[in-house]
Amino acid sequence: MALVDQFNKAAADVKNLKSMPSNDDLLELYALFKQGSVGDVNTDRPGMLDMKGKAKWDAWNGKKGMSKEEAMQKYVDKAAALVASIGLQ
């Protein structure tokens, strides 16, 4: 299966986990997904009152310079680990 197909399947699997992953896991998934699908951050950092937006932006910005392919593979691996530990609905 091609990496893009694995990436898309992992994204679908994450939406069907039995329970919500930890905030750290969610931020990691978000950052890897954005880096794998968009690339480096291309927006301004949210304002000081948007705590959730800033956390997501900072997580994504932490992946700056990582190739899309590497981010996709890490996302697939992270999703697989979550599916193994939490399970699917």
Torsion of CA 79, 42, 53, 71, to 10 degrees: 10
Could you tell me which residues come within 8 angstroms of residue 51 by beta carbon, excluding any fewer than 6 positions away?
Answer: none
For residue 86, the SS3 value is helix
Kindly report, residue by residue over 4-61, the tens digit of the pLDDT. 999 999 999 999 999 999 999 999 999 999 999 999 999 999 999 999 999 999 999 9
What is the mean predicted confidence (pLDDT) over 54-75? Answer: 98
Instruction: Return the exposure string of 29-46: e unless at least 16 CB atoms fall within 10 Å of the residue's CB, then b.
Output: bbbbbbbbeeeebeeeee
For residue 1, pLDDT beyond 90: no
Handedness of CA 66, 8, 15, 74 (dihedral sign): negative
pTM of the predicted model as reported, rounded to 2 decimal places? 0.94
For residue 76, pLDDT beyond 90: yes
Q: Which domains does the chain have, with CATH numbers?
A: 3-86 (1.20.80.10)
User: Tell me, what's the pLDDT at 36?
Assistant: 97
What is the mean predicted confidence (pLDDT) over 71-76? Answer: 98
